[in-house]
Amino acid sequence: MQVTATGHAGLAVRSGDAMVLVDPWFSPFGAFDASWFVFPDNLAVLDTLDVPDAVVITHEHLDHLDAWYLAQLPAEVPVVIPSYPSPILRRKVAAAGRTVIVELADRERREVAPGIGVRFVREESPMNHDAAVVLDTPDGNVVDLNDARIFPVQLREIRAELGGTIDVLALQGSGASWYPLVYDYPAERIEALCREKRATKFSYVVRAVEVAEPRVVVPFAGPPCFLDPELAWVNEQMTSGIFPDQRQVADHLAAAGHDHAVVLLPGESLRMPDGALTRLECWQGFWERDRSAYLADYAERRRDEVAAVLDAHPDPDIDLFDAFVEHGMQLLGCNAYCNERIDMRVGFDVTGPGGGAWHIDFRPGREGVGRGLDDCGYVYTFASRWLPPILAGEVPWEDFFLSLRFRARRDPDLYNDHLLGVLKFADANALAAVEAYERSIDRSARITVAAPDGRRWSVSRWCPHAGTDLRETGEVLVGAGPDGGDVLVCLAHHYRFDLGSGACSNGRCAPLEVTPLTGPAG
């Protein structure tokens, strides 16, 4: 088995004469309205690749689902995707002109090319349509976590199903997020929140490696780089922010005692089971190069493509309010359970021609769409040029948010998962699955957690946010709360709970049940 990095989260897995591509991304137009680009530039790899026997797409994010590349493949090449409650992934693949789409149920194995089997392991919570993908061959296997935050018990089950050994674990230390970069916080607060997010992500990576016990770890899927001059400031996040590079992830793992990470740059390969590496001369000394100069040259090469995307979004020549009202009413009609948990008026400050200051009111009994930003808990500010494709259903809100081409503020300053769920899915079936899952969480089960100094608490076993098992993902942080109190952080999705009150300090969700314990541990 040979595993070749094709850039970002892309992998080419070969066994014999068969080859499967996973999450290939080559588009010279980048992703998310020409905001994200592959780092480092991988377009030259495309000329070295044979036509794959199959393409595997794990989820709908455009840095994993490249419509530009898919549209160039022969019609008979199948695209293999996981089955999700939302139809967004299938629609995006079909919109790229693909007619052979193989949709697999959770954990359903299919041989998609001679000697290469594929199965998906989805995140438990349907609020996140992400899935790990497992590829097995006669001479090795790959477990690719990409964006998925699967539970530790799921990783153990995967390892058991593979005969007790994971050969290659591919995972990312760079997230897919716009928080806190676009929020109206002081610079020092943004910097502190970015360090916090980075540390939490790294903790999850270490925990995943400890649970999976792979022979080799391949850090990948980031960072993206930002070549539009208006977004060039985001590239600073590679240094100490939310978009660490592959080498930094490998260094962190090594510092934690896991020195078997292999960084592969585009076109470089790892062969299993012997672990032989194929390095490319073009990447020699890459990590020592002047990154600012590299990005400047890269931006110049993609200048025309960025301009083409911007030109494709002209200022509207009509008033967008009526279409916004129709869109807002559709969102309000998706799921009453989610509306109750949003429970606020959400503002959209749309600047430029055709725009205005508008809101969608999710408060039960006050639902509606109107003008004005009074009493809004969230407010999103962005140029009107970006709104028509969203209102037309061509661009999901989450894709737009990942472009970072907006500003946000919120009061109270709490993340609202259900608001993002309604905006990103806009689908009744997907949100009904969220409701059913959240209503099924056992709120009565308890576990004991402890601080390094021996203090203990009895807490809910299942995270109130997404039902993650806190035995596996809970970590006590002493003095890390907003008021200096102790917190329990869930490493799955970064939710933090005060160990004094149980309240969530950074998200809107039910409190954690907490009881302080006295006496010696055990």
Three-state secondary structure readout of 140-183: EEEEEEECCCCCHHHHHHHHHHCCCCCCEEEEECCCCCCCCCCE
pLDDT of residue 473: 81
Task: Give dist(CA 497, CA 480) in Å, integer.
Answer: 10
Burial class (CB in 10 A: 0-12, 13-18, 19+), 519: exposed
| Class of CATH domain 2-304 | alpha beta
Does the domain made of 321-436 have the CATH classification 3.10.20.30? no
pLDDT of residue 521: 46
Superfamily of domain 441-517: Rieske [2Fe-2S] iron-sulphur domain (2.102.10.10)
Task: Give dist(CA 121, CA 133) in Å, integer.
Answer: 6
Domain residue ranges of the chain, discontinuous segments joined by +: 2-304, 321-436, 441-517
Write the Ramachandran bin of 90: left for phi over 0, alpha for psi from -120 to 50, otherwise beta. alpha
Token pair in block for residue 365: 């009994």
Helix (H, G, I), strand (E, B) or coil at 57: coil
Full pLDDT tens readout for the chain, 522 residues: 999 999 999 999 999 999 999 999 999 999 999 999 999 999 999 999 999 999 999 999 999 999 999 999 999 999 999 999 999 999 999 999 999 999 999 999 999 999 999 999 999 889 999 999 999 999 999 999 999 988 888 999 999 999 999 999 999 999 889 999 999 999 999 999 999 899 989 998 999 999 999 999 999 987 999 999 999 999 999 988 999 999 999 999 999 999 999 999 999 999 999 999 999 999 999 999 999 999 999 999 999 999 999 999 999 999 999 999 999 999 999 999 999 999 999 999 999 999 999 999 999 999 999 999 999 999 999 999 999 999 999 999 999 999 999 999 999 999 999 999 999 999 999 999 999 999 988 878 899 999 888 899 999 998 888 788 888 888 898 888 888 889 998 887 778 899 999 998 888 888 899 999 975 444
pLDDT of residue 462: 87
Q: Which amino acid is at 495?
A: Y
Q: Are 277 and 2 in contact (CB under 8 A)?
A: no
pLDDT of residue 522: 40
Task: Give dist(CA 59, CA 397) in Å, integer.
Answer: 15
Nearest to residue 198, comparing CAs of 258, 243, 153, 228?
A: 243
Task: Give dist(CA 174, CA 156) in Å, integer.
Answer: 23
**Cis peptide bond N-terminal to 180, omega within 30:** yes
Nearest to residue 345, comparing CAs of 382, 381, 373?
A: 373
Task: Give dist(CA 124, CA 132) in Å, integer.
Answer: 11
